[in-house]
Amino acid sequence: MSALHPILRHISLIQFLQSKRLGASLKQIGEYIAARMCIDGDKYLDRTFQRDKKAILDNYKVDIAYNPADKLYRIVNTPAEVGRQAMEAFELLNAVLQTEDFAGRVLFDHRRAQGMAHFQPLLNAIKKCVLVKFRYQKFDEEAYSQRLAEPYAMKEFKGRWYLMALDMADLQTKTFGLDRMSMLEITKKKFDYPESYNPQQLFENCFGITSPYHGQQPEELVLAFSQQQHRYVTSYPLHKSQRDIKGPNGEILTVLNICLNYDLEMELLSYGDQVKVLSPEHFAKRIKQRLKRAAEQ
DNA sequence: TGTGGTTACCATTTCCCTTC
DNA sequence: GAAGGGAAATGGTAACCACA
């Protein structure tokens, strides 16, 4: 039995129950798991299922409930984001391990963001509401600065992790890249988490890690992608508000309700000549100026 | 009262690491 | 590569509980 065996079973169980909206009996679950795990049909026992059910709730926050009325088990909540990501990561790992005979034919991006060692300590600091000290170097500055901050939340963007924290030097909430931190120290000094700070709400209308400036409201952004690029952004949307509309000449336009921040500018610039900003005009001008400067370089 | 889900406890099996 | 031992996973059973 591999150490991966139980985890694979848990994920199989979740996927099976997700596909069975109306629920599944213990017999159906047993047969599916037995087939999936290549074990004898009667080897997935009730006792193991009960243990799996508890482990799934603990590890993935997926609650499997039994309904005595129809004698079926079903998932009663949506897997939390962290659980979903854990499942995806494990599925990838499992698939890769199964293809080890194909070494050299499954290629990974070797670029790895630095600073992931800070992730767990910072998470603990957020949980315990204690101040953190660290040395920080901005990308546009040579010098390091010493920071003391109240850590509030973590956010991922393009393979890097960022800390949202209140900088005690100027009492401004800022975003710090973990890859630019060093000499992290978790203090014992407690702080009160500000009730008004809601990171999910703060970034709801944003792309990337640049939070909106005070009072900034989302705007309607209209884009015209090339046919090829349109397919790409449809399969990997920029923002949850993204939708398609028909333009005046029957062409497909992409519309987003979003704060027009630096990260979004950079993302659109990365598409080169495959996208045209139609509105708002001030944002189109900004993109045009950047492209003009880029051409001059 | 019977049925079936849940949980606790202990036994057994299997895996994996270390040592030779 | 084989053997031994520890750890983890799994199996078996009994007791408890809710519900029809």
List bases in chain C with any atom under 7 Å of a protein Cβ. 8-13, 19-20
Helix axes A26-36, A46-60, angle to 10 degrees: 80
Q: Give the closest nucleotide to A6 (alpha carbon vs C1').
A: C9
Q: Is residue A86 part of a domain?
A: yes
Q: Are residues A127 and A94 in the same domain?
A: no
A96 and A7 belong to one structural domain: yes
Residue A266 lies inside a defined structural domain of this protein: yes
Show which of A78, A101, A124 is a domain's final residue. Answer: A101
What does the pLDDT look like over A150-160, one tens digit per residue? Answer: 999 999 898 88
**Domain stop point among A167, A202, A237:** A202
Does residue A208 fall inside a structural domain? Answer: no
Instruction: Print the domain residue range for A65.
Output: 2-101
- Chain mean pLDDT for chain A: 83
d(CA A25, CA A9): 17
Residues A281 and A231 in one domain: yes
In chain A, the number of structural domains is: 3
- Tell me the CATH number at A12: 1.10.10
Residue A256 has pLDDT above 90, yes or no: yes
Verify that A57 and A121 share a domain, yes or no.
no
Q: Mind listing the pLDDT tens digit for each residue in A130-157?
A: 999 999 988 777 788 999 999 999 998 9
pTM of the model: 0.70
Query: What is the per-residue pLDDT across A278-296, written as a single tens digit (0 to 9) for each?
Result: 999 999 999 999 999 999 9
DSSP codes of every residue in A208-269: TT-PPPTT---EEEEEEE-HHHHHHHHHS-SSTT-EEEE-TTS-EEEEEEE---HHHHHHHH
Q: Is residue A214 part of a domain?
A: no
What integer pLDDT is reported at residue A225 of this predicted model?
Answer: 94
Residue A107 falls inside a structural domain: no
Domain boundary among A154, A172, A202: A202
CA of A237 to C1' of B15 (A): 44
Token pair of A106 as six digits: 């499954």
In tens, the pLDDT along A48-90 reads: 787 788 777 777 777 787 777 777 788 877 666 666 666 676 6
Nearest residue by alpha-carbon distance to C1' of C7: A3
Mean pLDDT of A212-221: 86
Which region among A134-143, A246-255, A256-265 has the lowest average model confidence (pLDDT)?
A134-143
Classify residue A280: in a domain, yes or no: yes
**Nucleotide nearest residue A53, measured CA to C1':** B6
Segment A118-129 shows an average pLDDT of 84
- Give the pLDDT of residue A32: 77
pLDDT at A41: 47
A228 found inside a domain: yes
- Answer yes or no: do A74 and A46 share one domain: yes
For residues A183-199, average pLDDT: 90
